[in-house]
Amino acid sequence: MFAISRSKVIASSTRCFSTLESAGVKIAAQQEGASAYGSKLSVVVRGGSRYNTKPGVAHVLEKFAFKNNNHKSALRLTREAELVGAQLTSGVSRENIVLSANFLKEDLEYFVQNLGAVVNGTVFNKYELVERVAPLVAAEVNHANSDPVYLATEAAYETAFRSGLGNSVLAEAHSPVTIEDVVDYASKVYNKSNIALVASGVIPADLQKFVANSYFAELSAGSALKAESVKTFSGESRIKAAGVNAVTVAFPIQGASSAALAVLAKVVGGKSHIKWANSSSLLGSVAGGVEVSTSVASFSDASLFYITISGASASAVSSAAKEAVAAIKTAAAGVSDAALAAANAQAKLEAAAVFESFSNEIVGQQALSGSKVGLASLAKVSAEQVKDAAASLLKGKTVVSVVGNTHELPHADELF
């Protein structure tokens, strides 16, 4: 037998954020960061694609970050960041736009000013949209659209939620966003009710003082954006495409994801975390050069459990899709102790990794919604809970989306 001895983890070693407010701006800050010299500061903006006023406007607004603002030109902003060895990044998801800066500890005040100037003073020149932002958006969209796995997942979201969470994260080629749309959207999301600052490796009191003297303090109060209530749907989406075949089997769920679902995703599994090895999960050794992965996307009021299968051979992908549905049925019948223990540990590690990721998105979202900031409970999930979660998935709404050789890939009624 093989046994690992584990030392007890002391709870105080987890990441602790103190939540503050400065001039009406919500802040979550922690003094100890990943490094002794570096700090990171993120602005988490409630304004992801689910709040789109026009398809793709959130994506365009995200790409407008760090462009010319009233206080500094885009060129100066980038060159100065280079000089002090900092990184500026931006990203968009279904719920948030996140603007981040990663810099040396002594530059905190400077970057509070700069991020404040981006949120409060971006001028949104029409020519910048045409010359710099639109080509960037188009390049990102083209790159994403060349990936059948992305297409299948997006199609699954659209079928499962239709509007809101069903909106495509990235812009779409057929709906050009005008500069007026961007200005209008920016005025709705860039205000005190919709942003939260997240910082690590800073002294919270310092940050509070700097924010009070920055452009953040001059933002308008605004009103918190409300998402339309989520409705879930069953359905099927079939997209003809050349190249790799992909199938996504998805289960939309009302309400935020549970720990049991996260563990179930690891039990069903797919691609191994260990290099050059097959995973021991239920879908760990699917034949035919097929890649399988199972994930749970969790949002504030809904979640999507989905298995994505992709591969060059349509017949291998089809049979893997059938195996995937069978795996959930197997899990609904019962889970072995060994598989459960491994899945519990993997789910915990993944939750911790996401919480500590560079973007700080989860922390920001918690601060914005006013809930407790911290890593969600990592309590052990029992076999019974996993079994129930799998059974309730099969009873709920189901979505199947296929991309590739549609004449060979399975229909929804052939899978369930």
Partner 1 sequence: MSTFIQTAKIADFVLSKPGLAKIAVPIASWFANAAGYRKIGLKYEDLITEENPTVQTALKRLDAKESYDRVFRLATAHQCSLSHKLLPKNEWVKTSDDKPYISQYIKEIEQENQERVLLDNIVVSKKN
Catalog residues that contact partner 1 under the rule CB under 8 A.
73, 75-76, 79, 83, 126-127, 130-131
Q: Tell the residue number behind the tokens 């490796």, with chain if given.
A: 201
Q: Which residues contact 114 (CB under 8 A, 6 or more apart)?
A: 72, 77, 81, 101
Helix (H), strand (E), coil (C) string for 17-70: CEEEEECCEEEEEECCCCCCCEEEEEEEEECCHHHCCCCCHHHHHHHCCCCCEC
Rg (CA), the chain: 22
Cβ atoms < 10 Å from Cβ of 336: 10
3 state SS of 252: strand
Distance of alpha carbon 392 from the chain centroid: 24
Q: Which residue in 303, 308, 336, 329 sits closest to 320, CA to CA?
A: 308
Distance of alpha carbon 4 from the chain centroid: 33
- Residue 354: its H or E element: helix 337-355
| Residues linked to residue 173 through DSSP beta bridges, in sequence order | none
CA distance 304 to 94: 12
- Compute φ and ψ for 322, nearest 5 degrees: -65, -40
CA distance 251 to 72: 46
Write the DSSP symbol of residue 288. Answer: S
